[in-house]
Chains A and B, each alone.
Chain A
Amino acid sequence: MSSVIGITFGNTSSSIAVATQDGKVDVIANPDGDRAIPSVLSYIGIDEYHGAQAVAQLVRNASNTIINFRDFIGKQYDDVDVSVAARGAAPVKTEDGGIGYNITREDDRVELVTVNEAATRHFKQLKSAAEDYLGQKVESAVLTVPTNFNEHQREVLVQIASAAGFQVLQLINEPSAALLAHLTAASTALGEDELLKDLIYVVADFGGIRSDAAVIAVRGGILTILATAHEFNLGGDDLDDAISEHFAKEFEKKYQANPRKNARSLAKLKAESIVAKKTLSNVQSSSFSIESLAEGFDFLSNINRLRFELAARKPLSDMTAFVEKVLTKAGLDALDIDGVLLAGGCANVVKLAQNVQYLFPESTKIIAPSFDAKASNPEELSTRGAALQAALIESFDEAEVKESLQPIVVNTQHLQAPIGIKDAEGNFQALLVAETAYPIKRSIEVTNGDSSDVVVELYEGKRTIKETVIEPEARNPEDSDYDSDDSDEEPEIKKEVVYVAGDLLAKTVLSDLKPNSKLEVIVNITQNGVLHLTSRELKQGAIAVKGEVQGH
């Protein structure tokens, strides 16, 4: 088993994973048995609580419980919105303008825990959980970060990791890690390499307090982020709040007592709402019970999925809108997207996945647990990706990895329009698709049919949208028990993106061929952007026709 682990450090929860020999990934549970380990630290006297145990402290000991601190890393107090930590210990400004927490420890001594210190302690806990599982020292790890983490934040994170006792081999973007994990798992399940299929994905990660989305083009196994979007006040917490509010109203009506006035009541509501939300992702209804919610009244009720979806309509539609936003940013249409990968805890919410599905055409695959029971746990996706990457780069030495991350390697030209050839019917057949990173080489096997001389015409593709009108099925006249005024049913229009041949770039001629010979067309773009077209007959001694397409 590899000793390099993958770590995802989230605002709400973190997870750790390790790749096994057979290419599978084990997500490691902490001593409490949680795989999604809450990124929460709580202090009572000399004791430190971490994970779910610390979350439990939010009800009684909120002022000594540090929550939602990931985004504070490497930031100044004045630059951040501290309201995300409203339920826990209040962030304070440290002497150097950074962020810290005043934590009351034993004998009423007040300890200033900076964000970096909190993160270090959190990492130490994660590391020790991983070591317990692996039975060996963890010396290095691959960490995921949100795409909007800046250079400084990344550096600080690396320092925090080294303070916690391990080395960061590589920082990778959360959406890329999630997609890598999904594609690797799908490849194993389907037995073909999903990474090599040229598809465009939207990775939408709905976390606890923030949402991130990225449009990623997968081209020949290379991932390129086309656009990202972030929403800092949208996430699972909003869904929890919707449930809390729903029950707060119900409680108020029943007992004439307001549970929102009291921080402890609110914390109790919140904790139970989270449980209810998770239950509703799996079953149709959930019970909801809190002892002594407010003014000594016990509260017992239940909620079904429909009511939850109604109550949380606002955040759910915000989330859908958020996905649309990232599409707009990428300059793409829903039709261009081949798959949507939902990540983060909210991806379990059935309604969210359904809403997202309505956004895209049927051809787009939505990857969420409610559609595919075999899908990986969306909360673990990026950790799994990190673990896979860890296993990949483990065998390389540090210098090699560093070298591979140089801008000269990473910043690459990407093709902007598809390039392909025209077949006998005049249809455009793409060889290279847009957003493929240089260098590229693709070959395709073709035939000449009956003609002895053929031409290979290299075109740039032009995107068009083909609309097919699907007439509603004609009703069987015998079924006329129904009202016959169904003429208001509109014909359904099915849209799809079709590329047609645009500008002719080059052509080659292959002559004097026997009928149905096997031919090969190779298109090749070098690192410097020089496009070569080669075509030849697939037989011994055949001479290839080669040419360089003129440059820009």
Chain B
Amino acid sequence: MSIVLPALQGPKTPAFESYKPYSAPVRRPIEPVGRYFLAHATRTLRGHTWSEFEKLEAEKNVQVVEEDEDADLGDEEQSAELLATSPREWKEADLYAVLGLSHLRWKATEDQIRRAHRKQVLKHHPDKKSASGGLDQDDFFKVIQKAFEVMTDSNKRAQFDSVDELATVAPPSAKSEYDFFEAWGPVFETNAHFSKKQPVPLLGDKDSTKEEVDAFYKFWGKFDSWKSFEFKDEDVPDDSANRDHKRYIERKNISNRKKLKQEDNKILNEMVGRAQKEDPRIKAWKEAIKKEKEQAKWEKGAGSRAAAEAAAKKKAEEEAAKKKADEEAVLAKADAKKAKEAAKSAKKKNKRAVRGAPKAANYFGDEAKAEIIDGDVDLLLEKLDDLQLVSLAAKSEGDADAVKAAFVEMVSELTTSGTLKASYVKYFV
């Protein structure tokens, strides 16, 4: 109940009149605690008046409200096929699409799910349908309720997300041509939220460092997913009529889950393996490493190679030298033979000259003793060495006396050296 003001007694003007100042204030420290103090401090420091401050606060509030509102939540078109889903086969339907959240999927918050559900209920409630003429039209509504039940239970939602194929991007087909990062990036991005460990490293781009890429493949190589496959379970009959059968189904479900989990892990491992194989960054690095190795090897071999070259060169040189030497030796041999032959022929010539000398000198006048002289000359020729022969041959032309003196001198030279016994010489004594 609001306060009633007293009626005016007196004139209407002036509209405002001031009479007396109010009691003087006292200056006291206020306690700097609590949020109202902080508001007071802001007002004082920024010099805001009350109305300015209220305006600012109001603006803040408005923003908050606007942020909250994403109005078109759950307004997605639903296909006729989806709407025709039988409640019996609700598991086959895309539960996010049922709630009109297929663009958000696992990212939808609980609040968004709630609001989207409300919208779907408004649209598909059986009362509404029957009002607009339909009769037995609560099939899709049942599916909506099922979907809401799953989505609001974090456990069940995780189970649905595990088998939600539309939430993940499939790896590119191996046969097609594609850009590695464009094709594989979304694959890893959409699979990342299955990891028990968060945050999950993403594929990155061609400029990622080696550490990043190594960490990425290391993480994904040991990817621990929270996926579980209860959603694919066969319904366990809930009547107690046949316990054995029930247990049998339960066992089957458990083993099926295990199988699916293993398969899923295998698929993921293969996927990561394939990506790793195709990764152009890794290829580039491998190439680089290979090149580097070769280079290193090449550099490492430089010393021994120089030595080998030097050895080969040396060997070649040696061979050349040897060949040359051989040739020279052959030549020399030939020369020597020639010389020998020349010497031989010269000797023969000289011998002939020496032998012919007495005859030419008419046996020094003693033609009678020609046979003795020839005998002496032969003896002399036998004993003479090459040099003596040459000098004797040189002297055995010309004047007969000079030839005879040369023979005598030669004989005496030979007898004094002991090679010839004086007694054997008969003429040149």
Q: State the A residues within 8 Å of B (CB).
A: 170, 172-173, 176-177, 180, 183-184, 195-196, 216, 220-226, 385, 388-389, 392-393, 396, 403-405, 407-417, 419, 421-424, 426, 429, 435, 437-439, 441, 444-449, 451, 453-457, 460, 503-511, 518-519, 524, 526-527, 529, 531, 533, 545-552
Q: What would be 13 A-B contacts, judged by CB atoms less than 8 Å apart?
A: A172-B33, A173-B33, A409-B45, A411-B27, A411-B28, A414-B26, A416-B26, A439-B49, A449-B4, A453-B12, A454-B6, A503-B19, A507-B16
- The answer on a CB contact under 8 Å between B25 and A447 is no
Question: Is A455 within 8 A of B4, CB to CB?
Answer: no
- Contact across chains for B34 and A404 when beta carbons are under 8 A apart: no
Contacts of A506 in B (CB 8 A): 16-19
How many B residues touch the partner, as a band?
Answer: 35 or more
> B8 an interface residue at 8 Å Cβ cutoff?
yes
A451 and B21 contacting across the interface, CB-CB below 8 Å: no
Residues on the A chain within 8 Å of B298, using CB: none
Chain B residue at minimal CB-CB distance from A551: B21
Asked whether B173 is an interface residue with its Cβ less than 8 Å from the other chain, the reply is: no
Q: CB-CB < 8 A to A224: which residues of B?
A: 28-31
Q: Please give, as numbers and ranges, the residues of chain B lying within 8 Å of A183 by CB-CB distance.
A: 34
Task: Say whether B7 faces chain A, with CB atoms less than 8 Å apart.
Answer: yes
Report the minimal beta-carbon distance from A418 to chain B, rounded to whole angstroms: 10
280-295 of chain B: CB within 8 A of chain A: none
A contact residues around B4 at 8 Å (CB): 423-424, 446-449
Q: In the complex, which of the residues A195, A423, A435, A510 contacts B34, with contact meaning CB atoms closer than 8 Å?
A: A195
Which residues of the partner chain A approach B41 to less than 8 Å between Cβ atoms? 403-404, 409
Residues on B with beta carbons closer than 8 Å to the beta carbon of A456: 5
A552 with B24: CB separation less than 8 A = yes
By a CB distance below 8 angstroms, the chain A residues around B31 are 172-173, 176, 216, 222-225
Nearest 9 CB-CB pairs, A to B?
A: A221-B36, A547-B16, A451-B7, A404-B41, A223-B31, A413-B25, A176-B31, A453-B8, A454-B5
**CA A145 to CA B353, docked complex, whole Å:** 150
Say whether, besides A416-B24, A419-B22, A455-B8, A437 and B30 are in contact (CB < 8 Å).
Answer: yes
- Bound state CA distance, A416 and B25, in angstroms? 5
Bound complex: CA A196 to CA B16 (Å): 30
Q: Is the CB of A550 within 8 A of B18?
A: yes
A519 to B8, CA, bound (A): 15
Q: How many Å from the CB of A121 to the closest CB on chain B?
A: 28
Q: Are A524 and B6 in contact (CB under 8 A)?
A: no
List, in ascending order, chain B residues with CB within 8 A of A404's CB: 32, 37-38, 41-42, 45
Residues of A within 8 A of B7 (CB): 424, 449, 451, 453-455
A411–B31 CA distance with the chains assembled, in angstroms: 9
On whether the beta carbons of B22 and A437 are closer than 8 Å, the reply is no
Inside 8 A of A409's CB, which chain B residues have their CB? Answer: 32, 40-41, 44-45
Beyond the given A509-B12, A546-B16, please list 8 additional residue pairs across the A-B interface where CB-CB is below 8 A. Answer: A223-B34, A224-B29, A392-B34, A411-B27, A423-B6, A437-B28, A439-B43, A508-B17
A208 to chain B minimum Cβ distance, whole angstroms, is 24
Contact A222 B18 (CB under 8 A): no
| Contact assessment for B23 and A416 in the assembled complex, using a CB-CB cutoff below 8 Å | yes
CB distance from A499 to the nearest CB of B (A): 13
Known A424-B7, A455-B5; judge A221-B19 contact (CB<8 A).
no
How many angstroms from the CA of A393 to the CA of B39 in the assembled complex?
12
Contacts of B15 in A (CB 8 A): 508-509, 545
> Are B3 and A505 neighbours in the complex by a CB distance under 8 Å?
no
Q: A453-B12, A455-B5, A455-B6 are in contact. Are A408 and B44 (CB under 8 A)?
A: yes
Q: Is the C-beta of B60 less than 8 angstroms from some C-beta in chain A? A: no
Please, which residues of chain B bring their CB within 8 A of the CB of A503?
A: 19-20, 22
**A389-B34, A416-B23 known; A403+B45 contact, CB < 8 A:** yes
Chain A proximity mask over B310-334: 1 for CB below 8 Å, otherwise 0:
0000000000000000000000000
Asked if A504 and B19 sit within 8 Å, CB to CB, the answer is: yes
Among B16, B29, B36, B50, the most chain A Cβ lie within 10 Å of the Cβ of B16
CA A529 to CA B21, docked complex, whole Å: 11
- Contacting residues, chain B, for A435 (C-beta < 8 A): 28
Q: Once the chains bind, are A410 and B32 in contact (CB under 8 Å)? A: yes
What A residues does B38 contact at CB under 8 A?
Answer: 392-393, 396, 404
The docked-state distance in angstroms from the alpha carbon of A170 to that of B31 is: 12
Determine whether B88 belongs to the interface, using a CB cutoff of 8 Å to chain A: no
**Complex partner residue of B5 from A173, A389, A421, A546, CB under 8 angstroms:** A421
A414 touches B18 (CB 8 A): no
Whether A220 lies near B22 (C-beta < 8 A) is no
Task: Give min CB distance, A7 to chain B, whole Å.
Answer: 15
Contact partner of A511 among B6, B8, B42, CB < 8 A? B8
Which residue of chain A is the closest to B44 with respect to CB atoms?
Answer: A409
Q: Chain A residues with Cβ under 8 A from B22's Cβ?
A: 415, 417, 419, 460, 503, 505, 531, 549
Q: How far is the CB of A428 from chain B (nearest CB, A)?
A: 11
A contact residues around B16 at 8 Å (CB): 506-509, 533, 545-547
Instruction: Evaluate contact between B33 and A385: CB separation under 8 angstroms.
Output: yes
Taking the closest CB of chain B, its distance from the CB of A335, in whole angstroms, is 20
CB distance from A205 to the nearest CB of B (A): 15
A534 to B16, CA, bound (A): 9
Known: A392-B34, A414-B27, A454-B8. A447 touches B19 (CB 8 A): no
Q: Smallest CB–CB gap between A399 and chain B, Å?
A: 11
User: Contact check: which of A405, A460, A510, A552 meets B32 at CB < 8 Å?
Assistant: A405
> Given the complex of chains A and B, what is the CA–CA distance between A388 and B38 in angstroms?
13
B28 touches A412 (CB 8 A): yes
In the bound assembly, the distance between CA atoms of A216 and B30 in angstroms comes to 10
CB <8 Å contact, B34 and A509:
no
Contact flag A505-B37 (CB < 8 Å), given A439-B43, A455-B8, A527-B44: no
Q: Are B30 and A410 in contact (CB under 8 A)?
A: yes
Tell whether, in the assembled complex, residue A505 and residue B21 are in contact, meaning their CB atoms are under 8 Å apart: yes
> Within the complex, what minimum Cβ distance (angstroms) separates B249 from chain A?
44
Residue from B5, B37, B44 within 8 A of A448 (CB atoms)? B5
A416-B25, A533-B16 are known contacts. Are A426 and B44 too (CB-CB below 8 A)? no
B13 closest partner in A (C-beta): A509
Q: Is the CB of B6 within 8 A of A504?
A: no
Q: Chain A nearest CB: distance from B246 CB in Å?
A: 44
How far in angstroms is the closest Cβ of chain A from B326? 92
Give B42's nearest chain A residue, CB to CB.
A404
CB-CB under 8 A from B42, the residues of chain A are: 404
Do A412 and B30 touch (CB < 8 A)? yes
Asked whether A423 and B18 contact (CB < 8 A) given A172-B32, A411-B28, the answer is no
CB neighbours of B10 from chain A (8 A): 455
